[in-house]
Amino acid sequence: MTPNPITWFELNVADMERAKAFYTAVFQVGFEDFSTPGMAYWCFPMQDDQVGAGGALMQMEGCEPGKGGTMVYFTCQDCAVEEGRVVPAGGTVLRPKMAIGAFGFISVVIDTEGNPIGLHSLA
């Protein structure tokens, strides 16, 4: 059986502390520092035995954040909850919660770095 196509993601950021504060506020998670010289790298919490991809916030020369790149969707119980935390955390709601048929609901928001990200829930 072929595995799901996404095994890892990295969100490029310009200001690591601002980005960590945004994602911490919206998803109420902590990060683990895996930075190396020349690259700030903070990983989202993950469990290897669970479905879904792990990922990190990355700040490195030549990898700039912004519109037009890959959109990552974060799993939520109800995407309206996380969407409600976006503006107070410094982000922007681009598309409020909307139905996508049998696949549930999505919201599209812009993080503090200018990256569009998706929020997905079944309810």
Grouping H, G, I as helix, E, B as strand and the rest as coil, residue 27 is helix
Residue 50 confidence (pLDDT): 84
Residues 79-102 have a mean pLDDT of: 96
Residue 62 confidence (pLDDT): 81
The CATH code belonging to domain 8-121 is 3.10.180.10
pTM reported for the whole predicted model: 0.84
- Assign residue 114 a region (left: φ > 0; alpha: ψ between -120 and 50; beta: otherwise): left
Write down the mean pLDDT value for the chain.
91
pLDDT tens, position by position, 107-123: 999 999 999 999 999 99
